[in-house]
Chains A and B, each alone.
Chain A
């Protein structure tokens, strides 16, 4: 890619999420103009009264702002983790859930729903079990103090199916009038129940994880050469792998624990990013974050505006993402992929 084109793409990737972010706050059954949104945000930051109705201020600051913010974070975190795992496992078909974090989180959420039926404990359980699942996968795939790529993927697949079975078990024993629908909706993923407390809970692990991935992004190129070459090129393969797995797990677990299982993003967005900026992970990881943030904001806006009720996010991401991806594939003829 020529430097000029690179500059243009970089600028677009920085500006686009900001446009989407403000756009989604404006849009909804209760329309708020961009000027009013800015006034509300200004009031939120400075406390200086904007003169707008309390209704408008409540919609913007308490409902749409946390939801837009969380959507952007979730999209960026899932896409960046997906990009990292694809590089690490040298496989364009793995996603952010390959080491079982989504299944583990799903199990944790289902467990909290069945045991306590408490909306505050659900994200906490989801986060903890997401992390536990990855730890189990990591040790399942570890052989003689090394973690070969293929056994890690196998370990992840096994742990995923164990947790999937446990989720089914919990669904089976759950109260079919109240708990079962709650579990099912959680597993479809949604940002509908976003509360400021969720944002704060998920914010810390997502930011730490994404920082880790941004810092290590060049090493993904080297790791994608395979363990043997990466070692002879002068990096400590196991330590680097562990660092990336921990970062991606924090980012994904943070995202999944508040949004539920949103498929697609960790698989597809990194490919969209590669089509835009090429394959050097120095660019792929930040570009994935930008595209992921835009994509989740867009899908979530559709979720809450298309019908009178809320459509689960996981459904829209697949319905929008699938055709969009096919379009991109045809347009680029899969060359950069």
Chain B
């Protein structure tokens, strides 16, 4: 059974200019499906379609045998949680106010989350390593802490699928690793399924090395060039074709960790 499946999905903002065309894939329960590709290849637009923000021009998106575009927002949030690529801070809400919004779908239209929901939100905060942050103003957090808060909010939704659009954009190494550790924990311990887009190719190797079931989809000009394990897909030749770069792939041996890594060397002129 597949948890999420795309069947020949195409989308474009104008009729004859598709952003992506005939994308099909199945996401299996408990895996990380990692979408990688150059800027403007259609990653975010594809994610928007999976979030139900874009209506595909053709094809279907199914979530556990339900058509995604016929799902009510409530049902959607129960199945899929979303960690945005960037968040525009508005009013200085407390961190708890932000995280507890993950429980919105379980809250009746005319009420606010109750104490039980607030406890659940505090639990999510502790799980991402932000114990004691609940009364801080979220406008005063660092970029890394904010990202963890947004992950905690998605976690509080208790859905099976989490969609992360460039979860480590703007983060320092330490917070990048924290996010990777959380993703590993979410998949291996909590059994979540994650769809993520990233520009940091080494993250795919990190997750592969951490024993996470991971597949990489290499996207270019609106189609998938290759789908498979990071080792299968992230090869010098594929990177040359898609990113137009020469690169080197090596292997670390520090700290007893043998993990592959990619170093971009130069552009192909």
A positions within 8 Å CB-CB of B: 87, 90, 92, 215-219, 221-222, 224-226, 228-229, 231-237, 274, 278-280, 282, 335-337
Q: Beyond A218-B112, A226-B88, A228-B84, is A234–B76 a contact (Cβ under 8 Å)? A: yes
Q: Check: B90 CB closer than 8 A to any chain A CB.
A: yes
The answer for the CA separation of A222 and B93 in the assembled complex, in Å, is 11
Q: Could you give, for residues 38-69 of chain B, a 1 whenever the CB lies within 8 Å of some chain A CB and a 0 otherwise?
A: 00000000000001110000000000000000
Interface centre among A234, A235, A282, by most B CB within 10 Å? A234
Q: Beyond A90-B88, A232-B81, A280-B97, is A219–B109 a contact (Cβ under 8 Å)? A: yes
The answer for the CA separation of A279 and B104 in the assembled complex, in Å, is 17
The answer for the CA separation of A233 and B87 in the assembled complex, in Å, is 14
The answer for the CA separation of A236 and B76 in the assembled complex, in Å, is 11
A78 to chain B, nearest CB (A): 19
Q: What residue of chain A has the Cβ atom nearest to residue B154's Cβ?
A: A232
The answer for the CA separation of A219 and B73 in the assembled complex, in Å, is 14
Q: What residue of chain A has the Cβ atom nearest to residue B91's Cβ?
A: A279
Q: Check: B128 CB closer than 8 A to any chain A CB.
A: no
Across the interface, do A235 and B104 meet the contact criterion of CB distance under 8 Å?
Answer: yes
Q: Beyond A219-B109, A224-B91, A226-B88, is A233–B53 a contact (Cβ under 8 Å)? A: no
Counting from the closest, the 8 A-B pairs by CB-CB distance are A234-B77, A234-B105, A218-B112, A232-B82, A215-B110, A279-B91, A233-B104, A90-B90
Interface residues on B, range: 20 to 34
Q: Check: B111 CB closer than 8 A to any chain A CB.
A: yes
Q: Beyond A232-B51, A234-B77, is A221–B93 a contact (Cβ under 8 Å)? A: yes
Across the interface, do B101 and A92 meet the contact criterion of CB distance under 8 Å?
Answer: no
Q: Could you give, for residues 77-99 of chain B, a 1 whenever the CB lies within 8 Å of some chain A CB and a 0 otherwise?
A: 11011101001101111100100
The answer for the CA separation of A278 and B96 in the assembled complex, in Å, is 13
Across the interface, do B76 and A232 meet the contact criterion of CB distance under 8 Å?
Answer: yes
B85 to chain A, nearest CB (A): 10
The answer for the CA separation of A279 and B95 in the assembled complex, in Å, is 11
Which among A219, A231, A278, A336 is the interface contact of B53 at CB below 8 angstroms?
A231
Across the interface, do B92 and A233 meet the contact criterion of CB distance under 8 Å?
Answer: no
A109 to chain B, nearest CB (A): 34
Across the interface, do B101 and A279 meet the contact criterion of CB distance under 8 Å?
Answer: no
Q: What residue of chain B has the Cβ atom nearest to residue A337's Cβ?
A: B92
Residues of B within 8 A of A234 (CB): 73-74, 76-78, 104-105, 157
Across the interface, do B110 and A216 meet the contact criterion of CB distance under 8 Å?
Answer: yes
Residues of A within 8 A of B93 (CB): 221, 279-280
Across the interface, do A233 and B105 meet the contact criterion of CB distance under 8 Å?
Answer: yes
B positions within 8 Å CB-CB of A: 51-53, 72-74, 76-78, 80-82, 84, 87-88, 90-94, 97, 101-102, 104-105, 107, 109-113, 137, 157
Q: What residue of chain A has the Cβ atom nearest to residue B81's Cβ?
A: A232
Could you show 7 A-B contacts with beta carbons less than 8 Å apart? Answer: A224-B90, A225-B90, A226-B88, A228-B84, A234-B104, A234-B105, A235-B105
The answer for the CA separation of A257 and B33 in the assembled complex, in Å, is 57
Q: Beyond A219-B109, A279-B93, is A229–B87 a contact (Cβ under 8 Å)? A: yes
Across the interface, do B102 and A233 meet the contact criterion of CB distance under 8 Å?
Answer: yes
A247 to chain B, nearest CB (A): 12
Which among B76, B84, B112, B137 is the interface contact of A229 at CB below 8 angstroms?
B84
Residues of A within 8 A of B87 (CB): 225, 229
Residues of B within 8 A of A222 (CB): 101, 104
Across the interface, do B101 and A221 meet the contact criterion of CB distance under 8 Å?
Answer: yes
B122 to chain A, nearest CB (A): 15
B89 to chain A, nearest CB (A): 10
Across the interface, do B104 and A231 meet the contact criterion of CB distance under 8 Å?
Answer: no
Q: What residue of chain B has the Cβ atom nearest to residue A228's Cβ?
A: B53
Residues of A within 8 A of B102 (CB): 233
Across the interface, do A225 and B101 meet the contact criterion of CB distance under 8 Å?
Answer: yes
Residues of A within 8 A of B91 (CB): 87, 92, 224, 274, 279
A220 to chain B, nearest CB (A): 10
B139 to chain A, nearest CB (A): 9
Residues of A within 8 A of B97 (CB): 221, 279-280
The answer for the CA separation of A92 and B90 in the assembled complex, in Å, is 8
B69 to chain A, nearest CB (A): 13
**13 additional contacts (CB under 8 A) given A231-B51, A233-B102:** A90-B88, A218-B107, A224-B90, A228-B84, A229-B82, A232-B82, A234-B78, A234-B104, A235-B74, A279-B92, A279-B94, A280-B94, A337-B92
The answer for the CA separation of A224 and B93 in the assembled complex, in Å, is 10
B242 to chain A, nearest CB (A): 28
The answer for the CA separation of A232 and B164 in the assembled complex, in Å, is 12
B238 to chain A, nearest CB (A): 31
A61 to chain B, nearest CB (A): 36
A235 to chain B, nearest CB (A): 6
